[in-house]
Structure 1
């Protein structure tokens, strides 16, 4: 298992099993299933690390422990309401939570504040002791205040605690969600470095008290206030960066051959501090850039390593079309020098190595790619418009009678047929009011509700909204056949061979289906001898036909 995955499993284990703080309460894990979880750490998608960590931890979950799973952003793009209690808190839920996490899709926004509130309410936090563990790789995107929520839940709860795992957040981002944990007396654990994360666990796990531990020897007082004061700049000759731009400093002991040895600590921002005299490797990280140096420290001297990152800042905003608002659901992928890839959503600002950057923006089914050359110390801002139009589809039984069922299937094809007579499948969705972002061109939408289907051509223009309404010319047939074990529906008209077209069936005494307007035969099958009784019925467009088979 990769180091990060092992750390992640250890963090969740610590929060679930540490004693005595969490031993008796009921707990819900709130898992970030937003689209940003496709981002990678150490070459592996964060969503896979989260799944693997949960799977590992839950193998040792006590059988009587009451644990549940809530997820957000796993069913819809761009929705702040996409929150679901996937597994209610109960004993023996390990297998159910593992299976649920493995089946989640990761595609939506980050309504983390509302998700924590719903988890607290599901645990009846105003009546019983309750704990929520939030695992998030992003900040709130639905206009809510997690800090205020923490105070509110702590004040109203019997004994409520929230813990937050910042999954790949910068130090500044971490501070924006750490308050949720701090305001409830919980822990905030920042996961930003694969090699040092295990040490972070040691600092955050509630350990059982040791029997009269021997006091650590007092350190020798330093003859200078700080003996390690690193500085960095984006480009040779540029001023040093003295503010917090998300930089981190990771300190390792140096091996004799100059390689990284034991991990010592991780610090953030414009840091200066003290290290015991010795030889170290200090790694400076900003955004997607990492530089290291061998550093020797002494008690009475200041070591001041200087880092030139040879990097610049890239700011990208994604749009569906020129002049439109920022498309929050758009995926922004940056391929940067060194064969690195980073993915963001809607808009981004980050530091990258100088050189050619390939930026790909995806909005719905549309894609736009641009290449820019980023110079050291430079900031490039890009507004990239993909060039798509928005299409909203609906189906109607007849004009004026809309199909509101979630069972409605909506498929979009390119209008032009291939040599084999088939059309290229573009996208599929379900239910009414489906929205598609499509490149300009000619298309065909096919809607299907049970046995009724119809299609309609349409044209997409960049930046324009198109409403596509398809009329099925269909009605609904409802059948009641007491004592039947199966009900079959056929078209009334026989073909040249005397056969009738089948229009579906169901097992049991009732059947309901949407059918094209026309004449049908309903067949009820009863008993071990499969006695068949049939009656004719006419389905009218836009109407409901109810029949009983004697």
Structure 2
């Protein structure tokens, strides 16, 4: 099973090599965040394998590649509408995608067809080359038809490709979604065979580049033409009337042919920064933009004329410095959402955005803490603000005994809940994490850390204040029980004490003839279940905190 985990990482790396490597291509990665991702492979949740694979691959992606990140099933249980473009396609998005994946919850259904459709539309697949990489551990559960969608996108897209990674799917299940990739000329990778993926990676990455083609013979010199201006279109853009030009490569130009009815036709070009070009005579629609602010003008180009139009964006610039607490450094883990007149955008860490003038709603999130401020922004104005979320930091680790060995296992889970119970007796869940040194940013409050390690479950209360930096140590008061039952169909662990009806409580069951679990210290009974309807056999065992107990049931 561990081979499967390595294969998934290799599969995503292959996609990054064969797809992400082209700077002209915009890519959106779609991650399955449905509830089935909690299932484990070799004792490790599939969602953690996906997170680690993403983080590893994204470190090798060139910084100028424009990569986005979408997920489904991460906010609501049972909803087929729970699809979100979390990180829009942009250069240098690797850390933002990793942070978004690390903080994501895995709850809902699998609307993979609708998610791929939305990602294609976000990439403007009918206008530009576009690629979607889907990572899913399940099949469509919301009535979509991935095969039909693949044909539709291939027929209507300029150059659309969908690559699909089947995470832990069977061969028969894979056939049901492979058509999505095949119908768009993409790849379907079954993440279950490490050798085949490694060979593909060597072939595509390590193969020597072909020898360059010989230089063509020089073309004959063209006949001299009448002198004409070098350029006939040189636009400029300003944030506000009378303001300086914006020409620091943060602005962009989109030029389209104009249809007879005045609507946009074929795209002619997209350029960044200062633009000097020549346009053929005809009618055009030109869009000038800086970050999130844009304005368009219609233009009629006639032969022999030079055009220098001015585009006024009526926009300003917001610079947000997020802090976890008063006096803390700028947080690189912060998510900064800008809601401006007519739209919204998301940045991470120290954030700067040029947006339309007007009322701006800025929301900063660090871990489980969120704060929102409203800012009035005038055209041409730059507003710089420090926003303090007011959270503390906690690092959680578990120990078999107080002062004993640290439990160092990535399958160990921490759930942070509020200490105060609701009227129905339940507690509000705040954050989840896995493995040692689990980090949490939490608003000031009283909490309980619910630590789950195999059969051992422990609750540890603690409190957080803004600016805290706590090391929370959870004592499991547990040991390790290694069980062997040669020839058994399954092994079951029961409490040693019987209830009033003479029954023992079952604490866990595993199929096969060997099993190892972390378990609270105490007395237990290990039962060997036979596969041939033979008689079950049992053996008592005592587990001591911080120690290993081994038992064989014959």
The CA deviation at 1:297 is 2.3
Q: 2:401 aligns with which of 394, 398, 402?
A: 398
Q: How does 1:429-448 map to 2 (within 5 A)?
A: 429-448=433-452
Question: How has the CA–CA distance of structure 1 residues 356 and 457 changed in structure 2, closer, same or farther, with 3 Å as cutoff?
Answer: same
Question: How has the CA–CA distance of structure 1 residues 97 and 439 changed in structure 2, closer, same or farther, with 3 Å as cutoff?
Answer: farther
1:476 aligns with 2:524: no
Give yes or no for contact 1:40–1:46 (8 Å, CA) kept in 2: no
Aligned to 2:490: 486
Aligned to 2:359: 356
Deviation string, structure 1 residues 3-45 (Cα, Å, up to 9, x no partner): xxxxxxxx96997xxxxxxxxxxxx99885768962347x955
The CA deviation at 1:256 is 3.5
Q: 1:231 aligns with which of 236, 247, 255?
A: 236
Secondary structure in structure 1 of the residue aligned to 2:428 = strand
Q: How does 1:192-231 map to 2 (within 5 A)?
A: 221=226, 223-231=228-236
Aligned to 1:425: 429
The CA deviation at 1:499 is 1.1
* Counterpart Cα distance in 1 of 2:456 and 2:250: 56
- TM-score, length-normalised on structure 1? 0.65
Give yes or no for contact 2:164–2:188 (8 Å, CA) kept in 1: no
* Counterpart Cα distance in 1 of 2:274 and 2:341: 26
The CA deviation at 1:412 is 0.8
1:452 aligns with 2:456: yes
The CA deviation at 1:380 is 1.2
1:381 aligns with 2:384: yes
1:39 aligns with 2:42: no
Q: 2:412 aligns with which of 408, 413, 418?
A: 408
Aligned to 2:170: none
5+ residue gaps, structure 2, are 1-17, 23-56, 62-66, 72-84, 90-116, 124-129, 135-145, 155-160, 168-173, 192-196, 214-219
* Counterpart Cα distance in 1 of 2:303 and 2:455: 82
Q: How does 1:95-494 map to 2 (within 5 A)?
A: 98=188, 130-131=204-205, 159-160=208-209, 221=226, 223-241=228-246, 243-338=247-342, 340-399=343-402, 400-494=404-498
Deviation string, structure 1 residues 195-254 (Cα, Å, up to 9, x no partner): xxxxxxxxxxx9xxxxxxxx9x9997563332222122111122334x334222222233
The CA deviation at 1:287 is 0.9
Give yes or no for contact 2:366–2:441 (8 Å, CA) kept in 1: yes
Deviation string, structure 1 residues 257-304 (Cα, Å, up to 9, x no partner): 433233322232111221122332222121111211122223322212
The CA deviation at 1:528 is 1.9
* Counterpart Cα distance in 2 of 1:418 and 1:500: 32
* Counterpart Cα distance in 2 of 1:371 and 1:349: 16
* Counterpart Cα distance in 1 of 2:528 and 2:282: 88
Aligned to 1:6: none
* Counterpart Cα distance in 2 of 1:13 and 1:368: 35
* Counterpart Cα distance in 2 of 1:515 and 1:14: 47
* Counterpart Cα distance in 1 of 2:188 and 2:318: 38
Give yes or no for contact 2:133–2:162 (8 Å, CA) kept in 1: no
Secondary structure in structure 1 of the residue aligned to 2:262 = coil
Give yes or no for contact 1:315–1:349 (8 Å, CA) kept in 2: yes
Give yes or no for contact 1:130–1:160 (8 Å, CA) kept in 2: no
The CA deviation at 1:422 is 1.2
* Counterpart Cα distance in 1 of 2:495 and 2:21: 63
Question: How has the CA–CA distance of structure 1 residues 522 and 123 changed in structure 2, closer, same or farther, with 3 Å as cutoff?
Answer: closer
Secondary structure in structure 1 of the residue aligned to 2:482 = strand
5+ residue gaps, structure 1, are 1-10, 16-27, 61-66, 75-86, 102-120, 132-156, 162-183, 186-205, 207-214
Secondary structure in structure 1 of the residue aligned to 2:411 = coil
* Counterpart Cα distance in 1 of 2:121 and 2:515: 41
Question: How has the CA–CA distance of structure 1 residues 222 and 387 changed in structure 2, closer, same or farther, with 3 Å as cutoff?
Answer: farther
Aligned to 1:22: none
Aligned to 2:108: none
The CA deviation at 1:436 is 0.7
* Counterpart Cα distance in 2 of 1:526 and 1:261: 72
- TM-score, length-normalised on structure 2? 0.64
Aligned to 2:75: none
Secondary structure in structure 2 of the residue aligned to 1:223 = coil
Question: How has the CA–CA distance of structure 1 residues 257 and 482 changed in structure 2, closer, same or farther, with 3 Å as cutoff?
Answer: closer
Give yes or no for contact 2:163–2:188 (8 Å, CA) kept in 1: no
The CA deviation at 1:394 is 1.4
Secondary structure in structure 2 of the residue aligned to 1:496 = coil
Q: CA RMSD in A?
A: 4.2
Give yes or no for contact 2:249–2:272 (8 Å, CA) kept in 1: no
* Counterpart Cα distance in 2 of 1:219 and 1:495: 103
The CA deviation at 1:347 is 2.0
Give yes or no for contact 1:394–1:432 (8 Å, CA) kept in 2: yes
Give yes or no for contact 1:39–1:45 (8 Å, CA) kept in 2: no
Give yes or no for contact 2:68–2:87 (8 Å, CA) kept in 1: no
Secondary structure in structure 1 of the residue aligned to 2:471 = strand
Question: How has the CA–CA distance of structure 1 residues 33 and 486 changed in structure 2, closer, same or farther, with 3 Å as cutoff?
Answer: farther
Q: How does 1:65-80 map to 2 (within 5 A)?
A: none
* Counterpart Cα distance in 1 of 2:20 and 2:447: 51
* Counterpart Cα distance in 1 of 2:315 and 2:501: 76
* Counterpart Cα distance in 1 of 2:275 and 2:490: 75
* Counterpart Cα distance in 1 of 2:224 and 2:386: 54
* Counterpart Cα distance in 2 of 1:279 and 1:453: 70
Deviation string, structure 1 residues 399-444 (Cα, Å, up to 9, x no partner): 1222112221211110111111111111222222111111011001
The CA deviation at 1:511 is 2.0
Give yes or no for contact 2:131–2:162 (8 Å, CA) kept in 1: no
